[in-house]
Amino acid sequence: MSERKVLNKYYPPDFDPAKIPKLKLPKDRQYVVRLMAPFNMRCKTCGEYIYKGKKFNARKETVQNESYLGLPIFRFYIKCTRCLAEITFKTDPENTDYTMEHGATRNFQAEKLLEEEEKRLQKEREEEELNNPMKVFLSYPKNEDEEEPLALHPAWGGVGRLLSGSAASNIPTYPTQVLENRTKDSKLEMEVLENLQELKELNQRQANVDFEAMLKQYKELEEEQRRKEQEEDEQEMK
């Protein structure tokens, strides 16, 4: 009987590790991995819905001749839980997401569309701010002795002067579009804070309401109304 716990192995005296041939593995070899469905999908073969988070034993391989900024792209093979049809999807490092290849269709996801729309609006805003040719020079308010023309300063709402030459080169410049966007953001933030304050006040008023007293008063009114009806009925009977 051989040793159960093999701690030492026998190497013959003429053993040469350099003569061992190297194992050549194909570049597109596949591994069996355990993963969860990254998004909701529907099988094209049987129409079965596969929800996000469902676990699969998948085959994983590296996509050849395709990468993003040096990052490899991986392909995954899974099977439908109902008809066992093959479904494949790939990683999408550019958008930090996954892309469906074949075998199923990706279901509509409102959250994903909302995130994409927010990114698009943010990108358009940054491009608009960078491409705006209008510049505003920061300046201090002019003294009474100076005779230079004054200009309204949108950054801090005060009065300033436009400088030129070496004096203007030492002062930072800001596109007017940036100032407009900041003004809009501050205005929106103030509106949100006002709405929150109104909701807090409304909740406080509702919290101070004594519902038991209201029910008691309502019962008293009902009893009084019933008593009046009985008195009227008695008078009619007389």
User: Per-residue pLDDT tens for 12-49?
Assistant: 999 999 999 988 888 888 999 999 999 999 999 998 99
pTM above 0.85, yes or no: no
Amino acid in the structure at residue 96: T
Average pLDDT value for the chain:
79
Is there a binding annotation on residue 28? no
Instruction: Provide the 8-state DSSP code for 5.
Output: S
* 83-134 pLDDT tens trace: 999 999 999 999 888 999 999 999 877 777 788 888 888 888 888 777 765 5
Q: Any binding-site annotation on 83? A: yes
Residue 80 and residue 100: Cα distance in Å, rounded? 14
Comparing C-alpha atoms, which of 61, 97, 55, 63 is closest to residue 79?
55
Rounded CA-CA distance 11/224 in Å is: 107
Q: Kind and range of the H or E element at 125?
A: helix 110-131
8 Å CB contact between 7 and 38:
no
In whole angstroms, give the CA distance from residue 171 to residue 5.
Answer: 77
Q: Where do the domains of the chain lie?
A: 31-107, 110-138+175-231
